[in-house]
Structure 1
Amino acid sequence: MSATKHAQQLKQDSQDYLTTALFQLLETHDLHEIKITALVKRAGVSRMAFYRNYESLADLLRAYFEPKVTALFNDVILQVSHEKKAADMAAFFEEFEHALTLAVNRHFEDIIRQIFNENMARYYPKTAVWQQLTPTQQTYWVAFMSDGVYAIWRQWFLDGRQAPIETIHGLVGAFQRATAVALTAGGPSPLELKN
């Protein structure tokens, strides 16, 4: 193995050890209670190994979740088949069920939500309706839809994934289409909505 490959393997091993150790500590502690010293001790690596890879514990968690969340959005952006999207989403929730539960219970869900929001902002400009919206509408539509879509998936997850994933996927699509129609076709005025 070349020196470069060896260094890359050491770096990957350090990242894996730190990630595993952090999730072990999260079993009994909120994220803000965990200190770098306790993490590196549990992981069996030096503080330098931590700081060579991450700036903070949040950075470590982001590195763990970001590739998988981004992969799910890539399925949508690249318009893979409905069956593949549903299968990938089901696999994601299966693989990350415990980590997502910890995110809620140990107060680091905002990291996942931020990754989700960034991917929503990456997705919407690729949709057909985007060019029909004003810059102000674009900004607030992304914020509105991101929070709403996240809330739907979160509630479904916390409810124990009782409804079929296809049902939730369809619901999200219906909300997105209805919102796009309301923005591009004028929709009812706020006064009409009061009645």
Structure 2
Amino acid sequence: MEIKDYKLFGITKTQASIVNVMLRLLQNHSLQALPITTICMEADVGRATFYRHFESKEDIIKLYLRVVTDRYFSIVQDISNLTIEKLAGTYFEYWSTEKAFIDIVYKNNMSMLLLEENQYIEKHIQALNSNVFPQLSDEFTELENYYFHSFYFAGFWRLIFLWASRNYQETVDEMTAIFLKIHNSRGES
């Protein structure tokens, strides 16, 4: 859980250092109890430098979310013949490698922060429309597609946090099967 390849994501070495330090500190401290001064001391930067790059500690989480989301969608883009099954399996497999980050978000009650980043993630989700949900282009209006993607986005995140709340008892394959069962039963009464 760190940013090593910061140049790939258009962020500075200083930003990466601050993110990495804060994520490390959050493994033993709550976000609320972690002073910015401590982050600055550990990252060897001044407060002015911190505020040049971030407005708040939450902005650090948002930046890391952007990085890990870009990594995930980069993996998804490389999958040939993408299906909902492959998407779900890749999703749970990928986030299983980011359990430490998910735990930080979960323990600090920041799941809504991730949902607020929907506008950033939306561009990636729209790219999936033609591959995973091609039937929607004829069946749904543009507005309905927007709501559909938001619904799936929130549902996927909720499953991750429920998984975390259960200490990841289910395997990646079990989580994928659970999602697919839910997905395949939609619309049935």
TM-score of the alignment, normalized to the shorter chain, above 0.5: yes
The corresponding residue for 1:190 is none
Confirm or deny: 8 A CA contact 1:30 1:106 kept in the other structure: yes
Distance 1:169 1:118, change over 3 A: farther
Pairing 1:27-106 to 2, within 5 Å after superposition: 27-80=27-80, 86=89, 89-90=92-93, 92-94=95-97, 96-106=98-108
Q: Find the partner of 1:169 among 170, 176, 181.
A: 176
Runs of 4+ with >6 A deviation = 81-85
Identical positions, percent? 15
Which residue number in structure 2 is paired with residue 140 of structure 1? 147
Q: How far apart are the structure 2 equivalents of 1:157 and 1:99?
A: 10
Higher percent of residues as helix = 1
Whether contact under 8 Å (1:26, 1:106) holds in the other structure is no
Count matched residues.
170
Match of 1:122 among 124, 134, 141: 124
Cα shift at 1:133: 0.5
Aligned-CA RMSD value:
3.4
Q: Could you report, residue by residue, the CA deviation over 1:111-159 in whole angstroms, capped at 9, with x for unpaired residues?
A: 3344467435632433302312123422332232222222222222332
Task: Give 1:58 shift.
Answer: 1.7
Cα 1:74–1:42 change in 2 (3 A) is closer
**Runs of at least 5 residues in structure 1 that lack an aligned partner in the other structure:** 1-10, 188-192
Give the greater-gyration-radius structure (CA).
Answer: 1
Q: CA shift at 1:64, angstroms?
A: 1.7
Three-state SS of the structure 2 residue aligned to 1:163 is coil
